[in-house]
Structure 1
Amino acid sequence: MLSLQNAGKRFGPRVLFTEANWLIRSKEKTALVGANGTGKSTLMKVLAGLESLDYGTMQLTRGMSIGYLPQEGLRLSGRTVFDECLSVFDELRAMEGEIEQTAAQLSELDHASPEYEAAAERYSMLQERFHALDGYALDAQVGSVLTGLGFGKEDWSRQVDEFSGGWQMRIALAKLLLAKPNLLLLDEPTNHLDLETRNWLEDYLHNYPFGYILISHDRYFLDVTIDRTVEIWNKRLTIFQGNYTKYLSQKDERRAQLNASYKNQRDQIEHLEAFINRFRAQATKAKQVQSRIKELEKIERIEIPEEEPIIHFKFPQPPPSGRNVVEAEGLAKSYGEKQVFSNARFTIERGDRVALVGVNGAGKSTLIKLLSGVEKPTSGIVKLGHNVLSEYFAQDQYKVLDGDSRMLDDMSRAAMKVPESELRSLLGCFLFSGDDVFKPLGVLSGGERNRYALARILVSPSNFLLLDEPTNHLDMRAKDVLLEAIAAFSGTVVFVSHDRYFIDRLATRVIEVENGVINTYPGNYEDYLRKKEELAAAATAATPSPKPVFAQAQARSEVSTTPTRIGTIVIEGGPDGSNGVRDGRIRRLNPIKQKQMEERCVFLEEEIPRVEASIATTEEQLGVYISAAETQRLSDLAAELRSQLASLTTEWEDLTLQLEGQSANS
């Protein structure tokens, strides 16, 4: 399909990659990974034909089409959103026009004339090709993709010029998906997408009929969309089979092998050099010395590039707050006639890590502004608890920075007790290294200043952090530092993020803003999705829709294939919550999803005994009286562990039943 042979590319005097050999086959779903600055985006541009190689060759299959989405910088104008997306079908629409013209000719020509026969043959050929290319469903295709990418029907007739840069990138992505090139090249496609839209894009890519290559800093997105990983490391391309998690495991193994090979080679070189130095002056050993010198010259030296240091950063722990950090009563917010939400009631307690979720425009940023005091509610109250000190990180936090201050000086003033070496390590993790730390903040781009503003908050936090999309503009390494720091933070955090991995690892509660209503769910994002599915299934079961006799008969003879999402697993089932079971028949799971369920089962089978052991230990400790407070603490802990055990056991039983059903059906 497409291949690179001994390919190399320089950026000025620096070699990005060399001796790259890569065969990209049809329908392969690949992630391109590597540290910042290794040349991932440059290689994408080479594959797209926008840049040339400095060495080697690139070959494409004749007639192959390639679609490329850059990280940013696209600007569209002059058409409505719907017409802009329809423009990818210009060839089909021209064919449709020719079909209409040919039909008009046929109505006027003599049926016995040779012209009629030629026009009829042309009309038949055009009709067949138009039908094969699904030309009669163009509007439906455009509507489906625009809806999936978050455009409401009222947006379809708006001019593309009216949309911000992030929404313009969504339009560009929609055009690429509709065009269905043989190879999709997507550089950070999730940058401007919310969680719901990312979920839709994951499903779309699962069913994409051709191949694609992704660059992304979203681990979960990569794990569920790719089956091979190509890494740029040590100026070479290395190919790994499997998703991102498997790549990390294989990379550690390869690194260990490379280190072992490097050590063996160093031992060999030192042995040869020792022989040469020992016998160089002896005429009787001249032949052996020359032989060793030639052997030494032929050795291709193994290089171990310096790894980026792993940064472990901990927040300076803030003073404790009272137990109740925020209490909201009857909270409502409107902008003119637009009601964002109303009658919201919730409490956030000390130590909670709360993820705010909902589609773009639902009111997540509005809610976090109300909690921070930046905006006032239309009605209701937001009451902060005892000794609560809040700090708010906005999406445009860079606007409040002093543009004349140098980065390191400004950081040092914010954290006078933190050593400069530690501050520079933290800035390096957020992609500011070398002389960057001496730049005035005013010369940084908006994204760079936001990254800096987030790093600045880490060194002097209050006990109540409100973070609006802190993971924007961060690579995986910086996200890991942020995640680890917040997980170890003793204060309270409310955050908005579109990174599924980040939310799943961090959140202890989820607050959903949807259709003007605010609901609270315990657990992380996966727990939230599971609860939403349970509620939807219960609502469907409580209000069954009547079916005509024919539809009932058809339902008995066919199994619905509507996907029902449960956490990270998609189970093929019907909207009635039957998980694909009707009249004793079971819909086979996708092997990938079945594997995920099996792995979850193995985890639960290991976790349940651990929880049982913790319960036994806690009950044993309860038998020894120390103090009333300690007895109460142990009693609460035992109750919490029993509740956890019941939840894990129920989940294990449900998964086991589903997997047993799959085995019986196979």
Structure 2
Amino acid sequence: MLQLSGAGKRFGHKLLFEGADWLITAGEKTALVGANGTGKSTLMKVLAGVDGLDYGSIQRTRGMTIGYLPQDGLALSGRTVFDECLSVFAELIAMEKELEALYTALAELDPESPEYATAADRFSHIDSQFHAHDAYALDAQVGTVLTGLGFSKNDWTRRTEEFSGGWQMRIALAKLLLQKPSLLLLDEPTNHLDLETRNWLETYLKTYPNGYILISHDRYFLDVTVDKIVEIWNKRLHVYHGNYEKYLSQKADRMAQLQSAYKNQRDQIEHLEAFITRFRYQATKAKQVQSRIKELDKIERIEIPEEEPAIHFSFPQPPPSGRTVVECSNLSKSYGPKNVLENANFTIERGDRIALVGVNGAGKSTLVRLLSGEDTPTSGVLKLGHNVIADYFAQDQYKVLDPEARMLDDISRTAPKVSETELRSLLGCFLFSGDDAFKRLGVLSGGERNRYALARILVSPANFLLLDEPTNHLDLRAKDVLLNAINKFTGTVIFVSHDRYFIDRLATRVFEVADGKVHVFPGNYEDFLWRKEGGAETLQAATMAAAAPVAVPVVPVATNGASSNGSAEKDKARKVNPIKLKQMQERLSVVEVEMPQIETAIAETETALGNFVSVEETARLSKVLEGLREMHTSLTGEWEELMVQLEEA
């Protein structure tokens, strides 16, 4: 469908890539990855035809269509949101108008006339094309995509120019999805999407009928949407088959092979050079020396490019807080007539990692501001625990920074006990390398200042961190640094994020903010979705059905009036039906065999959970472990009941 041959591109004096060969086939679902500055977005522009190559060639199949979504910079105006999306069907709308005109003409023309036959043929031809494109359901298609991307019905009739840049990008994405081009090129499509909208886009792309190429810093998003990875590395394109997780594994194997090949080649070169040096001036060895020199010249040297140094950063650990960090009772917040939160009740314990989820506008940021003290509740009680020190990272945190301060000086004042080397390494991880560390904060863009503000919080954290969208503007490497630092942090964290991988690896509980309420769920986001979809109830019902104890009715025994209550009970127990007694004994034997088997399975599952393989596998094992524990509890209760009944019998 599209082919690069010997492709090369420069950015000023810097060579981004060269000798790139890439055959893009129909239906290919690919992620384009690489370190910052390697040329991913530039290559995407080349594929879209927005930019050209400096070397090599690009060939496109005749008739193919390409849809390109840049990271930002799009501005739409002049139409309502709905009409803007409908505009992608201009050709079909023109067909519809022609069909109406032909229908009118056919009603007026003489059925025996040649004009009628021509009009009828034209009507039949256009009508078949119209049906083939499902054009009778254009409004429904537009409505489905707009709803999936988070637009309410009230938004459909608003003018596009009324929306902010992020929502403008959503409109542009909606138009591309409705167009269904042969090849869809999406550069950071999840940047402007909340978690629920990302989930919808993942599902949409899984069933997308044509091919697409993605650039994204959302690891989970890549894992579930692509089956091929193309990496720009060492100024070349390298192809890996599978999703992002498999790419990481394959790349590690490839690097190990490259290191081994490099070592073997170095050994060979050193051996040849040693021979040449030793016998260079001996006439009897001249022929062998010349042979070794020629052999040495023919060797194509293996080069191992410098990898970005791994950054390992740990929070300076804060003073401990009390066990209870926050207690909220009947917490409510209103803005005028609008109730954002109403009678919310929850407790946050020391060491919790709580993810706040919910649709845009549900009140997540409001709840974070209330917990941080930036806002006050309308009613209810919000009580901080003993020795709790809160620190709040807002979406627009950059607004509180001193624009005249130099970056390195400012962060050094914040963390006087951290060395300059460590600080510069941390800044480099957040994409501030080299002389960037000496820039004044006022010259940075909003996204850059937010990145810096997050790095600044890391070096001197409080014991209760409230992070509102900390993963915005971060690449995969910076997210990993942040994730590892928080996982080692001994304090308490409550955060809002739209990155599924980040939430799954960090959250120990999920608070869903919806309809003014705060709903508490144990576990990470995968557990939250599973419970929301009824997984917990289904598993509990299945477990109870599988482990249900055998009903053992007791046959009543007649007693005479002189017998005491105690002797009557003994007579009743002694005269249990022997068949039922045998059934109880057999069931007890089965339970006593099953219980140690389940205990072994629990231990094995807990061990497997300790070795991370993937988000999906962790979620699956967590569900299995929960089911095993519930089954063990049920069997223990049944065993105790059977023992009591048998003793009485």
TM-score, length of structure 2 as denominator length = 0.84
Contact 2:606-2:625 at 8 Å conserved across structures = no
| Residue 223 (structure 1) aligns with | 223
- Alpha-carbon distance in structure 1 between the residues aligned to 2:90 and 2:291: 70
1:559-638 superposed matches below 5 A: 608-610=602-604
- Alpha-carbon distance in structure 2 between the residues aligned to 1:400 and 1:606: 55
> Is 2:331 the counterpart of 1:331?
yes
Q: Which of 628, 631, 638 is the equivalent residue of 1:649?
A: 628
Deviation at 1:364, TM superposition (A): 0.4
Deviations 1:251-278 (A, max 9, x none): 0000000111111111222222223323
Contact 2:315-2:489 at 8 Å conserved across structures = yes
Deviation at 1:24, TM superposition (A): 0.9
Q: Secondary structure at the match of 2:376?
A: coil
| Residue 264 (structure 2) aligns with | 264
> Is 2:390 the counterpart of 1:390?
yes
| Residue 504 (structure 2) aligns with | 504
Which has the higher mean CA deviation after the structures are superposed, 312-321 or 286-295?
286-295
- Alpha-carbon distance in structure 2 between the residues aligned to 1:84 and 1:339: 33
| Residue 365 (structure 1) aligns with | 365
| Residue 378 (structure 1) aligns with | 378
Amino acid at match of 1:518: V
Contact 1:612-1:645 at 8 Å conserved across structures = no
Which has the higher mean CA deviation after the structures are superposed, 291-300 or 198-207?
291-300
> Is 2:454 the counterpart of 1:454?
yes
> Is 2:36 the counterpart of 1:36?
yes
Q: Secondary structure at the match of 1:82?
A: helix
- Alpha-carbon distance in structure 2 between the residues aligned to 1:284 and 1:302: 33
Deviation at 1:379, TM superposition (A): 1.4
1:268-347 superposed matches below 5 A: 268-347=268-347
CA distance 1:648–1:425, change in 2 (3 Å): farther
Deviations 1:334-387 (A, max 9, x none): 112211120111111111111100011111001101111111112112111111
1:170-189 superposed matches below 5 A: 170-189=170-189
Q: Secondary structure at the match of 2:184?
A: strand
| Residue 428 (structure 2) aligns with | 428
Amino acid at match of 1:520: V
Deviations 1:372-428 (A, max 9, x none): 111111211211111111000000000100111111111100000001101111111
CA distance 1:14–1:441, change in 2 (3 Å): same
Q: Secondary structure at the match of 1:383?
A: strand
Deviation at 1:298, TM superposition (A): 2.5
Q: Secondary structure at the match of 2:534?
A: helix
- Alpha-carbon distance in structure 2 between the residues aligned to 1:227 and 1:644: 26
Q: Secondary structure at the match of 1:359?
A: coil
Contact 1:363-1:513 at 8 Å conserved across structures = yes
Name stretches of at least 5 consecutive residues in structure 2 with no aligned partner.
Answer: 542-597, 609-621, 633-649
- Alpha-carbon distance in structure 2 between the residues aligned to 1:145 and 1:405: 45
| Residue 150 (structure 2) aligns with | 150
CA distance 1:55–1:172, change in 2 (3 Å): same
Amino acid at match of 1:251: K
Aligned residues: 561
CA root-mean-square deviation: 2.1
- Alpha-carbon distance in structure 1 between the residues aligned to 2:279 and 2:442: 64
CA distance 1:536–1:74, change in 2 (3 Å): farther
> Is 2:199 the counterpart of 1:205?
no
Q: Secondary structure at the match of 1:3?
A: strand
- Alpha-carbon distance in structure 2 between the residues aligned to 1:517 and 1:214: 36
| Residue 580 (structure 1) aligns with | none
Contact 1:321-1:386 at 8 Å conserved across structures = yes
Deviation at 1:300, TM superposition (A): 1.9
Deviations 1:163-210 (A, max 9, x none): 111111111110000000011111111111111111111110010001
Amino acid at match of 2:27: K
Deviations 1:298-343 (A, max 9, x none): 2222111111111111111111111111111111111122111201
Amino acid at match of 1:381: V
Deviation at 1:285, TM superposition (A): 3.7
- Alpha-carbon distance in structure 2 between the residues aligned to 1:256 and 1:213: 28
Deviation at 1:296, TM superposition (A): 2.3
> Is 2:90 the counterpart of 1:90?
yes
Deviations 1:55-95 (A, max 9, x none): 11111111000111111111111110000100100111011
Deviation at 1:535, TM superposition (A): 8.1
Deviations 1:423-458 (A, max 9, x none): 111111111111110111111111011000000000
Contact 1:608-1:648 at 8 Å conserved across structures = no
Contact 2:530-2:536 at 8 Å conserved across structures = no
| Residue 133 (structure 1) aligns with | 133
> Is 2:348 the counterpart of 1:348?
yes
| Residue 637 (structure 2) aligns with | none
| Residue 568 (structure 1) aligns with | none
- Alpha-carbon distance in structure 1 between the residues aligned to 2:398 and 2:450: 5
Deviation at 1:481, TM superposition (A): 0.7
- Alpha-carbon distance in structure 2 between the residues aligned to 1:206 and 1:16: 31
- Alpha-carbon distance in structure 2 between the residues aligned to 1:287 and 1:41: 54
Larger Rg belongs to: 2
| Residue 417 (structure 2) aligns with | 417
Q: Secondary structure at the match of 2:237?
A: strand
| Residue 72 (structure 2) aligns with | 72
| Residue 6 (structure 1) aligns with | 6
Contact 2:602-2:625 at 8 Å conserved across structures = no
Identity %, equivalent residues = 74
Q: Secondary structure at the match of 2:533?
A: helix
TM-score, length of structure 1 as denominator length = 0.81
Deviation at 1:132, TM superposition (A): 0.5
Q: Secondary structure at the match of 2:302?
A: coil
Name stretches of at least 5 consecutive residues in structure 1 with no aligned partner.
Answer: 542-603, 615-642, 654-666
